[in-house]
Amino acid sequence: MLQNLYVKNLALIDETEVEFGPGLNVLTGETGAGKSLLLGSVNLALGGKYSADMLRSGTKSGLVELTFTVEDKETERKLAESDIFPEDGCVTLSRRLMEGRSVSRINGETVNMGVLRDVASLLIDIHGQHENQTLLHRKNHLSLLDLFAREETEPLREKMAGAFGQYRKLLRQSEESALDEESRRKEASLAEFEVKEIEDAAPVPGEDDDLEERYRRMTESRRITEAVAEAYQYSGNDMRGNASELISRAIRVMQDVSEFDETGSQLYGQLLEIDSLLNDFNRELSEYAKSFEFSEEEFQETENRLNLLNHLKAKYGNSISDVLSYCEEKKQRLSELEDYDAYMADLAAKTDEAKKLCEQTAGELHRVRARAAEEFAGEIEKQMSELNFLDARFEIRLSDAGRFSASGKDDAEFYFSANPGEPLKPLGSVASGGELSRVMLAVKTVLADEEDTPTLIFDEIDTGISGITAGKVGEKLHLIGRSRQVICITHLPQIAAAADSHFLIRKEAEDNSVRTGIELLNEDASVEELARMLGGANITGRILESAREMKELAKSET
């Protein structure tokens, strides 16, 4: 769950920190106090769009930091797939905001925005007003249905994705292989030429690297040979005054000294060792010099061979291995072209087989979805009735998409009727904003056990509702909070009354500036805030009593 939120230098927020708790966390405050700003800061930490004008006036950088506790083993496994490992059971997402740029980190390690968003999706789900719009687009309805029946649909969707990928690959291969006789003749002629060119050259993997080194040595041979010859003169040639001759003289004169005492003997031994090492060096130097002895003919052969291999690599691949792979592909293609009719017949048979597998898997998916659609719709209707929809009806209709895709051959669409006697119509064409909010909440409630995200944030879930309906929404949010953490921003006292933890966001004037702060309310302060939400500025004893009664009633109902 989201344990801690820290924000610094963001718009009206100077510096604030919030410790959230389990269950339902509700944030309230007057209009303009900064409720949306707080949610916006969470969005920024999760990879939302950022511009420099979001920074608090007079500051050059800001910071948003979210700390999550991770207790679920499946979440830990998915995090590990992104090389993210909780530290002391926690994962911290932070985003440093600067003029014109930002830096994101997970547990202190810099990450790109893609990784940040992937990790965030495992930990938190923000549901704002724009998420209601997902219900307006029928393309999302099938995904929600599949999520409801995930235990059955997930393995079938994986099977379907594999079958569809193979089918599409074979279709593309058939299209690319469909040639008339003249085109086949030209392709075969070119393939024969390319195979012959490569096989005549008979390249060997790694040969080009060896030749490059040999060619380099040849081109540098004169300079190296002169240097080696000069070194050999100084160390061991027959000319007088070289190191070998001088050390031999030293050995002769030190022979008598070696018999004088232990020190003299040790020095004499060292001199003999130096003489032995120098002789070894001279032999190796002589062999090294011989390795640079090349004839003009050898140089020409090496250069020509290297040019040939580079020519093949320029045409057929970046390496000799690539060239040889290309040759094998062309030989395979020649085999296909030589018996083209049989090849195309085999390809057609494989395509038909892949299509049948697609049809079979899509059919299995459809049958699972048809059963699940009735159950899912029934569960949503049940939740809707608890959200003060009277006699509302909900239906999920499946239709044939007319083509295969990685998710099968089904289209799904939600149909809705809010009042008795009204015909079912597509949800997006009949539902109001308030109805959409409640339908989405009903869907979220039904899917609560299917979705893995441990923290849900609801913003503007109270759009277009009030009174009894608002109380029902509060009950439902509290119910979801029993299985996962819920954070809700609201302006309705009926929802705030259901909170396990109630936070107040307020705007304060200080030192000629305005800033937003947040505090956790105790029982009495929560009742006072509910009274303000009920009665505005004039809070009477009766309003306070109503607020206290509302809170107690919400506790008893949840």
pLDDT at residue 294 tops 70: no
Neighbours of 141 (CB within 10 A): 24
Q: Which range among 166-170, 181-185, 442-446 shows the weakest confidence by mean pLDDT?
A: 181-185
- Residue 158 CB neighbour total at 10 angstroms: 12
**Mean per-residue pLDDT over the chain, rounded:** 83
Region 13-39: mean pLDDT is 81
- Confidence bin at 182 (pLDDT 50/70/90): low
Residue with tokens 């690539």: 322
Q: Among the listed ranges 94-98, 114-118, 166-170, 331-335, which one has the minimum average pLDDT value?
A: 331-335
Share of the chain above pLDDT 70, in %: 88
Strands ordered across the beta sheet of 24-28: 124-127, 455-459, 485-489, 24-28, 501-510, 513-520
Q: Characterize the bridge pairing of strands 124-127 and 455-459.
A: parallel
**Residue 8 above 70 pLDDT?**
yes
Neighbours of 99 (CB within 10 A): 12
Tens-digit pLDDT profile for residues 316-337: 888 899 989 998 988 887 777 7
Residue 466 has pLDDT above 90, yes or no: no
Q: What are phi and psi of 66, to 5 degrees?
A: -120, 130
Show the beta-strand stretches assigned E in 348-495: 393-405, 408-417, 425-426, 455-459, 485-489
Q: Tell me, what DSSP letter sits at residue 424?
A: P
Pair of tokens at residue 381: 């209707």
Q: Is the pLDDT of residue 530 over 80?
A: yes
CA distance 356 to 352: 6
Concatenate the DSSP letters of all residues of 222-267 into one string. Answer: HHHHHHHHHHHHHHT-SSTT-HHHHHHHHHHHHHHHTTT-HHHHHH
In this structure, the strands spanning 485-489 and 24-28 are parallel
Q: Which of 59-73, 89-103, 164-178, 424-438 has the lowest mean pLDDT?
A: 424-438
Lowest mean pLDDT among 149-153, 227-231, 248-252, 421-425: 227-231
Least confident of 48-62, 117-131, 499-513: 117-131
Place 420 in a pLDDT band, splitting at 50, 70 and 90: confident
Q: Is 504 exposed, middle or buried (0-12, 13-18, 19+ CB in 10 A)?
A: buried
Residue 264 has pLDDT above 90, yes or no: no
Long-range Cβ pairs for the range 323-330 (8 Å, 24+):
323/198, 323/203, 324/198, 324/203, 324/205, 326/194, 326/198, 327/194, 327/195, 327/198, 327/199, 330/191, 330/194, 330/195
pLDDT of amino acid 511: 65
Using DSSP bridges, classify how beta strands 513-520 and 13-19 pair: parallel, antiparallel or unpaired.
unpaired
Please tell me the pTM assigned to this model: 0.61
User: Which range is least confidently modeled, 145-149, 277-281, 307-311, 491-495?
Assistant: 277-281
**Band (240; pLDDT cuts 50, 70, 90):** low
